[in-house]
Amino acid sequence: MEEQNWLKRTDLALEAKEMFVEENPEKKHELDGIIIHEFEQENVKLTRVEIDQEGSERVGKNPGEYITLESQELRKPNQTFDKKMAVLLANELKRLIKIHQITNESTCLIVGLGNGYVTPDALGPNAINQLYVTTHLFKLHPEVVQEGYRPVSAFTPSVMGLTGLETSDVIFGVVKEINPDFVIVIDALAARSIDRVNATIQLSDTGIHPGSGVGNDRKEISESTIGVPVFSIGIPTVVDAVTITTDTLDYLLKHFGKQMDQQDQARTVLAPSGMTFGEKPEYDEEDLPDEDSRKAYMGMVGNLSIEEKRKLISEVLQPMGHNLMVTPKEVDEVVNRLSRVIASGINQGLHPKINQDNSADFLK
Protein backbone atom coordinates (compact mmCIF):
# COMPACT_ATOMS: atom_id res chain seq x y z
CA MET A 1 0.00 0.00 0.00
CA GLU A 2 2.93 2.37 0.57
CA GLU A 3 3.59 2.80 -3.13
CA GLN A 4 -0.01 3.94 -3.58
CA ASN A 5 0.10 6.65 -0.88
CA TRP A 6 0.15 9.32 -3.57
CA LEU A 7 -3.45 8.42 -4.31
CA LYS A 8 -4.55 9.41 -0.81
CA ARG A 9 -3.30 12.98 -0.70
CA THR A 10 -6.77 14.48 -0.39
CA ASP A 11 -9.45 14.85 2.23
CA LEU A 12 -12.04 16.25 -0.16
CA ALA A 13 -14.91 14.07 -1.40
CA LEU A 14 -15.06 16.07 -4.66
CA GLU A 15 -11.45 15.17 -5.39
CA ALA A 16 -12.02 11.53 -4.46
CA LYS A 17 -14.76 11.44 -7.11
CA GLU A 18 -12.42 13.08 -9.63
CA MET A 19 -9.73 10.52 -8.82
CA PHE A 20 -12.15 7.68 -9.54
CA VAL A 21 -13.00 9.17 -12.94
CA GLU A 22 -9.32 9.72 -13.79
CA GLU A 23 -8.41 6.16 -12.85
CA ASN A 24 -11.45 4.69 -14.62
CA PRO A 25 -12.19 6.92 -17.63
CA GLU A 26 -14.31 4.20 -19.18
CA LYS A 27 -16.59 4.35 -16.11
CA LYS A 28 -16.98 8.12 -15.83
CA HIS A 29 -20.72 7.79 -16.42
CA GLU A 30 -21.06 4.93 -13.92
CA LEU A 31 -20.98 6.83 -10.65
CA ASP A 32 -23.86 4.90 -9.15
CA GLY A 33 -24.22 5.67 -5.48
CA ILE A 34 -22.99 9.26 -5.84
CA ILE A 35 -25.40 12.15 -6.29
CA ILE A 36 -23.99 15.61 -6.94
CA HIS A 37 -25.91 18.88 -6.72
CA GLU A 38 -24.11 22.07 -7.75
CA PHE A 39 -25.14 25.68 -7.17
CA GLU A 40 -23.37 28.93 -8.05
CA GLN A 41 -23.97 32.35 -6.58
CA GLU A 42 -21.79 35.15 -7.88
CA ASN A 43 -18.23 33.94 -7.22
CA VAL A 44 -19.05 31.07 -4.82
CA LYS A 45 -19.69 27.48 -5.88
CA LEU A 46 -21.68 25.25 -3.51
CA THR A 47 -21.54 21.50 -4.12
CA ARG A 48 -23.43 18.83 -2.20
CA VAL A 49 -22.18 15.28 -2.72
CA GLU A 50 -24.34 12.46 -1.37
CA ILE A 51 -22.57 9.09 -1.14
CA ASP A 52 -24.30 5.80 -0.30
CA GLN A 53 -22.63 2.46 0.45
CA GLU A 54 -22.09 1.62 -3.23
CA GLY A 55 -20.57 5.03 -3.90
CA SER A 56 -18.44 4.70 -0.78
CA GLU A 57 -16.78 1.57 -2.16
CA ARG A 58 -16.01 3.40 -5.41
CA VAL A 59 -14.39 6.54 -4.03
CA GLY A 60 -13.18 5.43 -0.59
CA LYS A 61 -15.23 7.93 1.42
CA ASN A 62 -17.69 7.10 4.19
CA PRO A 63 -21.38 7.18 3.23
CA GLY A 64 -23.04 10.49 3.97
CA GLU A 65 -23.20 14.05 2.70
CA TYR A 66 -20.20 16.20 1.80
CA ILE A 67 -20.67 19.91 1.22
CA THR A 68 -18.02 22.16 -0.30
CA LEU A 69 -17.94 25.93 -0.61
CA GLU A 70 -15.37 27.00 -3.20
CA SER A 71 -14.12 30.45 -4.14
CA GLN A 72 -10.74 31.93 -5.03
CA GLU A 73 -11.92 35.07 -3.20
CA LEU A 74 -11.51 33.14 0.04
CA ARG A 75 -7.74 33.56 -0.34
CA LYS A 76 -7.97 37.36 -0.27
CA PRO A 77 -8.46 39.54 2.82
CA ASN A 78 -12.03 40.80 2.37
CA GLN A 79 -14.17 41.23 5.48
CA THR A 80 -17.42 41.49 3.52
CA PHE A 81 -16.74 38.29 1.60
CA ASP A 82 -15.59 36.47 4.76
CA LYS A 83 -18.92 37.31 6.40
CA LYS A 84 -20.74 35.96 3.35
CA MET A 85 -18.84 32.66 3.53
CA ALA A 86 -19.51 32.38 7.26
CA VAL A 87 -23.25 32.79 6.65
CA LEU A 88 -23.21 30.18 3.87
CA LEU A 89 -21.35 27.75 6.15
CA ALA A 90 -23.83 28.44 8.97
CA ASN A 91 -26.80 27.76 6.70
CA GLU A 92 -25.35 24.43 5.54
CA LEU A 93 -24.52 23.43 9.12
CA LYS A 94 -28.10 24.25 10.19
CA ARG A 95 -29.41 22.13 7.31
CA LEU A 96 -27.33 19.10 8.32
CA ILE A 97 -28.32 19.51 11.97
CA LYS A 98 -31.98 19.57 10.95
CA ILE A 99 -31.54 16.46 8.76
CA HIS A 100 -30.18 14.59 11.80
CA GLN A 101 -33.16 15.78 13.89
CA ILE A 102 -31.00 17.66 16.37
CA THR A 103 -32.93 20.26 18.37
CA ASN A 104 -31.91 23.77 19.42
CA GLU A 105 -31.50 22.52 22.99
CA SER A 106 -29.16 19.61 22.10
CA THR A 107 -25.68 19.82 23.61
CA CYS A 108 -22.62 20.09 21.39
CA LEU A 109 -18.94 19.31 21.83
CA ILE A 110 -16.54 21.01 19.40
CA VAL A 111 -13.06 19.57 18.91
CA GLY A 112 -10.21 21.52 17.34
CA LEU A 113 -7.83 18.98 15.82
CA GLY A 114 -4.27 19.80 14.84
CA ASN A 115 -0.98 21.12 16.13
CA GLY A 116 -1.22 24.74 17.22
CA TYR A 117 2.56 25.11 16.89
CA VAL A 118 2.51 24.24 13.16
CA THR A 119 0.74 27.04 11.32
CA PRO A 120 -0.86 25.06 8.44
CA ASP A 121 -2.20 22.59 11.02
CA ALA A 122 -3.46 25.24 13.47
CA LEU A 123 -6.89 25.84 11.91
CA GLY A 124 -8.71 23.77 14.53
CA PRO A 125 -6.98 25.17 17.65
CA ASN A 126 -7.30 28.74 16.34
CA ALA A 127 -11.02 28.35 15.62
CA ILE A 128 -11.69 26.88 19.07
CA ASN A 129 -10.38 30.09 20.66
CA GLN A 130 -13.05 32.14 18.88
CA LEU A 131 -16.19 30.12 19.63
CA TYR A 132 -19.10 30.96 21.90
CA VAL A 133 -18.67 28.34 24.66
CA THR A 134 -21.71 28.22 26.92
CA THR A 135 -22.01 24.91 28.80
CA HIS A 136 -20.55 26.33 32.00
CA LEU A 137 -23.09 29.18 31.95
CA PHE A 138 -25.98 26.74 31.68
CA LYS A 139 -24.59 24.83 34.69
CA LEU A 140 -23.43 27.68 36.93
CA HIS A 141 -25.53 30.71 35.94
CA PRO A 142 -28.59 29.52 34.01
CA GLU A 143 -30.43 32.73 34.91
CA VAL A 144 -28.13 34.83 32.70
CA VAL A 145 -28.48 32.67 29.59
CA GLN A 146 -30.87 34.13 27.02
CA GLU A 147 -33.03 32.06 24.72
CA GLY A 148 -31.43 31.24 21.39
CA TYR A 149 -28.26 29.68 22.78
CA ARG A 150 -27.43 26.00 23.21
CA PRO A 151 -24.91 24.34 25.58
CA VAL A 152 -21.57 24.19 23.76
CA SER A 153 -18.26 22.84 25.04
CA ALA A 154 -14.94 22.92 23.20
CA PHE A 155 -11.41 21.64 23.60
CA THR A 156 -8.21 20.94 21.67
CA PRO A 157 -6.67 17.46 22.14
CA SER A 158 -3.42 18.45 20.36
CA VAL A 159 -1.49 15.70 18.51
CA MET A 160 0.15 12.43 19.49
CA GLY A 161 3.63 13.84 18.85
CA LEU A 162 3.11 16.32 21.70
CA THR A 163 0.92 14.34 24.10
CA GLY A 164 1.89 10.71 23.50
CA LEU A 165 -1.82 9.93 23.41
CA GLU A 166 -3.96 8.76 20.51
CA THR A 167 -6.11 11.76 19.64
CA SER A 168 -9.23 9.68 19.14
CA ASP A 169 -8.80 8.10 22.59
CA VAL A 170 -8.73 11.55 24.18
CA ILE A 171 -11.89 12.52 22.30
CA PHE A 172 -13.64 9.25 23.19
CA GLY A 173 -12.82 9.85 26.86
CA VAL A 174 -14.24 13.38 26.85
CA VAL A 175 -17.38 12.27 24.97
CA LYS A 176 -17.94 9.48 27.48
CA GLU A 177 -17.56 11.89 30.38
CA ILE A 178 -19.76 14.80 29.22
CA ASN A 179 -22.15 12.83 26.95
CA PRO A 180 -22.89 15.47 24.24
CA ASP A 181 -25.75 15.02 21.79
CA PHE A 182 -23.47 15.67 18.81
CA VAL A 183 -19.87 16.56 18.00
CA ILE A 184 -18.27 18.99 15.55
CA VAL A 185 -14.64 18.39 14.56
CA ILE A 186 -12.52 21.13 12.95
CA ASP A 187 -9.32 20.20 11.13
CA ALA A 188 -6.92 21.41 8.46
CA LEU A 189 -7.12 19.23 5.34
CA ALA A 190 -4.91 18.25 2.40
CA ALA A 191 -5.94 18.91 -1.21
CA ARG A 192 -5.07 17.28 -4.51
CA SER A 193 -5.33 20.51 -6.51
CA ILE A 194 -3.41 23.76 -6.11
CA ASP A 195 -6.58 25.70 -6.89
CA ARG A 196 -8.40 24.35 -3.82
CA VAL A 197 -5.74 25.19 -1.20
CA ASN A 198 -7.12 27.89 1.14
CA ALA A 199 -10.06 28.29 -1.26
CA THR A 200 -12.42 25.49 -0.17
CA ILE A 201 -14.46 24.76 2.95
CA GLN A 202 -15.74 21.21 3.37
CA LEU A 203 -18.53 20.26 5.75
CA SER A 204 -19.70 16.67 6.18
CA ASP A 205 -21.79 14.47 8.48
CA THR A 206 -19.53 11.44 8.10
CA GLY A 207 -16.89 12.12 10.74
CA ILE A 208 -13.20 12.30 10.03
CA HIS A 209 -9.94 10.33 9.77
CA PRO A 210 -7.36 12.74 11.26
CA GLY A 211 -4.17 12.95 9.21
CA SER A 212 -5.40 10.77 6.35
CA GLY A 213 -4.68 13.42 3.72
CA VAL A 214 -0.98 13.55 4.61
CA GLY A 215 -0.44 9.80 4.98
CA ASN A 216 -0.67 9.84 8.80
CA ASP A 217 -3.98 8.05 9.22
CA ARG A 218 -5.33 7.93 12.78
CA LYS A 219 -8.42 6.26 14.25
CA GLU A 220 -11.74 7.29 12.76
CA ILE A 221 -13.93 9.73 14.67
CA SER A 222 -17.52 9.19 13.57
CA GLU A 223 -20.99 8.24 14.81
CA SER A 224 -20.13 4.56 14.42
CA THR A 225 -17.17 4.90 16.81
CA ILE A 226 -18.43 7.36 19.45
CA GLY A 227 -22.19 6.83 19.28
CA VAL A 228 -23.38 10.37 18.44
CA PRO A 229 -23.52 12.31 15.12
CA VAL A 230 -20.17 13.79 14.12
CA PHE A 231 -19.91 16.73 11.74
CA SER A 232 -16.52 17.70 10.34
CA ILE A 233 -15.45 21.09 9.01
CA GLY A 234 -12.13 21.69 7.32
CA ILE A 235 -10.13 23.77 4.86
CA PRO A 236 -7.23 22.35 2.80
CA THR A 237 -4.09 24.25 3.76
CA VAL A 238 -1.43 21.97 2.24
CA VAL A 239 -0.74 20.15 -1.01
CA ASP A 240 1.99 17.65 -1.87
CA ALA A 241 4.89 18.04 -4.30
CA VAL A 242 3.46 15.45 -6.70
CA THR A 243 0.33 17.57 -7.09
CA ILE A 244 2.28 20.81 -7.52
CA THR A 245 4.49 19.30 -10.21
CA THR A 246 1.59 17.65 -12.05
CA ASP A 247 -0.54 20.79 -11.98
CA THR A 248 2.41 22.91 -13.15
CA LEU A 249 3.00 20.68 -16.18
CA ASP A 250 -0.71 20.83 -16.97
CA TYR A 251 -0.79 24.63 -16.65
CA LEU A 252 2.30 24.90 -18.84
CA LEU A 253 0.68 22.92 -21.65
CA LYS A 254 -2.52 24.94 -21.36
CA HIS A 255 -0.50 28.15 -21.43
CA PHE A 256 1.17 27.06 -24.65
CA GLY A 257 -2.17 26.07 -26.14
CA LYS A 258 -3.78 29.38 -25.19
CA GLN A 259 -0.89 31.37 -26.62
CA MET A 260 -1.10 29.37 -29.86
CA ASP A 261 -4.76 30.32 -30.23
CA GLN A 262 -4.09 33.94 -29.44
CA GLN A 263 -1.19 34.23 -31.86
CA ASP A 264 -2.60 32.41 -34.87
CA GLN A 265 -1.24 28.93 -34.28
CA ALA A 266 2.17 30.04 -32.95
CA ARG A 267 3.38 31.83 -36.07
CA THR A 268 5.02 34.37 -33.78
CA VAL A 269 7.06 34.00 -30.60
CA LEU A 270 5.04 32.94 -27.57
CA ALA A 271 4.18 35.94 -25.41
CA PRO A 272 5.25 35.68 -21.75
CA SER A 273 2.48 35.31 -19.23
CA GLY A 274 3.42 38.71 -17.80
CA MET A 275 1.89 40.30 -20.90
CA THR A 276 -1.51 39.86 -19.29
CA PHE A 277 -0.80 43.16 -17.45
CA GLY A 278 -1.73 41.96 -14.00
CA GLU A 279 -4.74 39.88 -14.97
CA LYS A 280 -4.75 36.37 -13.55
CA PRO A 281 -4.85 33.87 -16.45
CA GLU A 282 -7.56 31.22 -16.35
CA TYR A 283 -7.07 27.86 -18.03
CA ASP A 284 -9.51 25.06 -18.87
CA GLU A 285 -9.35 21.75 -20.74
CA GLU A 286 -10.06 23.48 -24.06
CA ASP A 287 -6.72 25.27 -23.80
CA LEU A 288 -4.74 22.00 -24.06
CA PRO A 289 -2.96 21.75 -27.43
CA ASP A 290 -3.34 18.69 -29.63
CA GLU A 291 -1.35 15.49 -29.10
CA ASP A 292 1.36 16.36 -31.62
CA SER A 293 1.95 19.75 -30.02
CA ARG A 294 2.03 18.28 -26.51
CA LYS A 295 4.60 15.73 -27.63
CA ALA A 296 6.66 18.44 -29.31
CA TYR A 297 6.75 20.47 -26.10
CA MET A 298 7.32 17.69 -23.56
CA GLY A 299 8.09 14.50 -25.44
CA MET A 300 6.45 11.33 -24.12
CA VAL A 301 5.41 13.10 -20.90
CA GLY A 302 3.26 15.53 -22.89
CA ASN A 303 0.77 12.87 -23.94
CA LEU A 304 0.41 11.17 -20.57
CA SER A 305 -2.93 11.56 -18.79
CA ILE A 306 -3.09 13.52 -15.55
CA GLU A 307 -3.17 10.31 -13.53
CA GLU A 308 -0.26 8.81 -15.47
CA LYS A 309 1.78 11.95 -14.81
CA ARG A 310 0.96 11.72 -11.11
CA LYS A 311 2.13 8.11 -11.02
CA LEU A 312 5.35 8.91 -12.86
CA ILE A 313 6.22 11.91 -10.69
CA SER A 314 5.35 9.96 -7.54
CA GLU A 315 7.64 7.09 -8.62
CA VAL A 316 10.46 9.63 -8.92
CA LEU A 317 9.87 11.68 -5.77
CA GLN A 318 8.67 9.10 -3.23
CA PRO A 319 11.84 6.94 -3.07
CA MET A 320 13.95 10.06 -2.53
CA GLY A 321 11.67 11.35 0.19
CA HIS A 322 10.99 14.51 -1.80
CA ASN A 323 7.21 14.36 -1.91
CA LEU A 324 6.98 17.22 0.56
CA MET A 325 3.80 18.77 1.90
CA VAL A 326 3.74 22.43 0.86
CA THR A 327 1.74 25.43 2.02
CA PRO A 328 1.55 29.03 0.67
CA LYS A 329 3.99 31.55 2.15
CA GLU A 330 1.18 33.76 3.51
CA VAL A 331 -0.24 30.84 5.52
CA ASP A 332 0.04 32.66 8.88
CA GLU A 333 -2.40 35.41 7.92
CA VAL A 334 -4.64 33.06 5.93
CA VAL A 335 -5.08 30.48 8.71
CA ASN A 336 -5.85 33.18 11.28
CA ARG A 337 -8.48 34.71 8.99
CA LEU A 338 -10.05 31.43 7.88
CA SER A 339 -10.26 30.19 11.46
CA ARG A 340 -12.39 33.29 12.18
CA VAL A 341 -14.64 32.42 9.23
CA ILE A 342 -15.05 28.85 10.51
CA ALA A 343 -15.74 30.04 14.07
CA SER A 344 -18.28 32.61 12.93
CA GLY A 345 -20.06 30.04 10.75
CA ILE A 346 -20.26 27.56 13.64
CA ASN A 347 -21.45 30.22 16.11
CA GLN A 348 -24.26 31.25 13.76
CA GLY A 349 -25.09 27.64 12.90
CA LEU A 350 -25.38 26.50 16.53
CA HIS A 351 -26.95 29.49 18.26
CA PRO A 352 -30.17 30.86 16.68
CA LYS A 353 -29.65 34.10 18.64
CA ILE A 354 -26.43 34.85 16.76
CA ASN A 355 -26.64 36.31 13.29
CA GLN A 356 -24.28 38.03 10.85
CA ASP A 357 -24.62 41.39 12.59
CA ASN A 358 -23.95 40.42 16.19
CA SER A 359 -21.14 37.99 15.28
CA ALA A 360 -19.25 40.58 13.26
CA ASP A 361 -16.70 41.07 16.04
CA PHE A 362 -15.22 37.66 15.15
CA LEU A 363 -14.44 38.91 11.64
CA LYS A 364 -12.65 42.16 12.44
> What's the rounded mean pLDDT across residues 16-39?
67
Contact 13, 49 (CB under 8 A): yes
Distance CA 192, CA 215 (A): 13
| Rounded-to-integer distance, Cα 353 and Cα 24, Å | 48
Report the run of H or E that residue 297 belongs to, with start and end: helix 291-298
Mean pLDDT of 87-94: 96
Q: Which helix (H) or strand (E) holds 69?
A: strand 64-70
Structure confidence at residue 194 (pLDDT): 87
Name which of 185, 209, 206, 81 is nearest 128 in CA terms. 185
Res 136: pLDDT: 93
Q: Does domain 2-240+330-363 have CATH number 3.40.50.1450?
A: yes
Name the average pLDDT for the chain: 83
- Lowest average pLDDT, out of 83-92, 148-157, 313-322, 335-344, goes to 313-322
Domain with CATH 3.40.50.1450 in the chain: 2-240+330-363
Over residues 95-144, the pLDDT tens digits come to 999 999 999 999 999 999 999 999 999 999 999 999 999 999 999 998 88
Pairwise CA distance, residues 63 & 42, whole Å: 30
CA distance 42 to 106: 35
- How far, in Å, CA of 207 to CA of 232, rounded? 6
| pLDDT at 268 (0 to 100) | 47
pLDDT given at position 93: 97
**Is the model's pLDDT at 18 over the cut of 50?**
yes
pLDDT of residue 193: 84
CA gap 122, 143 in Å, rounded? 35
> Residue 182 pLDDT > 60, yes or no?
yes
- Are 188 and 234 in contact by the 8 Å Cβ rule? The answer is yes
Instruction: Residue count of the chain, please give it.
Output: 364
Q: Say what the pTM is.
A: 0.82
